Structure 1
């Protein structure tokens, strides 16, 4: 047993002394990473892709090619913060990425926005990185003494900053991750040029014509929200225009790697704010098409590398 133990320790020591093997770069062409979370979004964007060549890494298909003449790598993250972060780092490690663009659907938070609208926030936060606090009295909660409460709580839920690793091993506490200013300026220009769809079929149209809104805040977290009270909390606390389950995770990874980032999110539902049952199943196709249309136009407006 002793010999086995020391042999194992020696093996670990030897492995730790070996140089790390860098991941293979699959394609040297400078490309824009264009990503979506699930099927309908991915399908819409593939229709605009030409000169396609596929690569598979860890089960994820990365499709390179051109959209509006711009070199891109198109892929599906899968729903969830973890999936989004993992595939974002993967594409940065395996391709030559100049910027990251997210296209997808989301839940509307601002009561002045409507299903079908496309929202392009100026910054994103991981609003469900939280402390579930101890109850100190009936309906009263308190975080541990070594923590702070930078935002109003929702019952026992106290939002917290996340820590981002920086060079030299330092950790930076951060809540908001800014979108790239140059990319946002191009989005503002595009907002006046794209006409959005408003009908699923001739007999099923939205009562409000969709529009594009650039700026404000977006929030992301590991929860599908279909609750009017919590939606109101998210709007009042974070001034959130929209919430989803991926964008802030991608913004975090982009920030840590120094890669410009922007996200386009079209509203498929109102996160519990509508009078009827959640309408994502009805309008996710329309919302996906609207987001993809704006992203395609956005890519056309990007300056050539």
Structure 2
């Protein structure tokens, strides 16, 4: 993959999730469009457009479409936080999606549950090449940067001992999952589910329909249970933004080679 041919779109749902990226963008220029600020420039040698989508599937889909149609991005990466949906996935772990679906999509009996009508698909596969590079960047962050980037106090507060990397299914829906009963119900239907959030599958569908390669990386901020909202903002500001900055730094470096 030649970085000369790449224009990378980077989406996050919240400003705090992207703050560490914008600080490192060279020749940054803000272009307003559709009630969003699209920040263009270079990130670690890669032509990039960073944008905060806001929360939810419609907001994420509109943002991804604008990146493709107005800013001519060739690849899209979504970075942010998610709730863990598996016993092996803990706060501070990283989940890179190999596929995404909308857990609140249900047009049955006209179509099977989770299937997006008239596409024949429920699961949208992430681009293999981008996902592989993103996984490598995340693993290198955990091995080489984590202890230096996340201080002792934050590691203790959020019980971050030895974070791990996972790759698998992420599900999106217009609902903040913070209840064990809701999560258990999802796991019954989707045993392979690793994380839940509110945007990724919408971006995946847009990218599928436009033929744009995409990848999604999520830092686990909570266990999608009754304690999910506790210290959520502090986790994003103190931990997740550091994850995003360092993973994308390594990811962009791999694209720029």
In structure 1, stretches of 5+ residues that fail to align are: 1-28, 132-142, 151-158, 164-170
Aligned pair partner of 2:121 in 165, 174, 182: 174
2:110 matches 1:147 = yes
Alignment CA distance shift 1:126-1:206 (3 Å): same
Looking at structure 2, the residues matched to 76 and 203 of structure 1 have their Cα atoms a distance apart, in angstroms, of 27
Looking at structure 1, the residues matched to 133 and 120 of structure 2 have their Cα atoms a distance apart, in angstroms, of 29
2:114 matches 1:160 = yes
Q: Name the SS for the 2:251 alignment partner.
A: helix
Aligned pair partner of 2:245 in 288, 292, 295: 292
Q: TM-score, normalised by structure 1?
A: 0.74
Aligned pair partner of 1:270 in 214, 217, 223: 223
Aligned pair partner of 1:40 in 2, 7, 16: 16
Q: CA deviation at 1:89?
A: 0.4
Moved more, 287-296 or 261-270: 287-296
Aligned pair partner of 1:187 in 131, 134, 159: 134
Alignment of 1:44-83 (within 5 A): 44-83=20-59
Q: CA deviation at 1:283?
A: 1.6
Task: Give the aligned partner of residue 208 of structure 2.
Answer: 255
Looking at structure 2, the residues matched to 38 and 302 of structure 1 have their Cα atoms a distance apart, in angstroms, of 25
Q: Name the SS for the 1:112 alignment partner.
A: coil
Contact 1:116–1:198, Cα closer than 8 Å, also in 2:
no
Aligned pair partner of 1:233 in 182, 185, 203: 185
Alignment CA distance shift 1:241-1:61 (3 Å): same
Report which structure shows greater RCO (CA 8 Å, sep ≥6). 2
Looking at structure 2, the residues matched to 221 and 299 of structure 1 have their Cα atoms a distance apart, in angstroms, of 29
Q: CA deviation at 1:56?
A: 1.1
The structure with the largest strand share of the pair is 1
Greater Rg by CA: 1
Alignment CA distance shift 1:86-1:114 (3 Å): same
Alignment CA distance shift 1:266-1:92 (3 Å): same
Task: Give the aligned partner of residue 223 of structure 1.
Answer: 175
Looking at structure 1, the residues matched to 131 and 38 of structure 2 have their Cα atoms a distance apart, in angstroms, of 25
Looking at structure 1, the residues matched to 86 and 22 of structure 2 have their Cα atoms a distance apart, in angstroms, of 30
Task: Give the aligned partner of residue 197 of structure 2.
Answer: 244
The structure with the largest helix share of the pair is 2
Q: Name the SS for the 1:216 alignment partner.
A: strand
Contact 1:103–1:264, Cα closer than 8 Å, also in 2:
yes
Aligned length: 246
Contact 1:115–1:210, Cα closer than 8 Å, also in 2:
no
Contact 2:75–2:212, Cα closer than 8 Å, also in 1:
yes
Deviations 1:32-52 (A, max 9, x none): 001110121121221221111
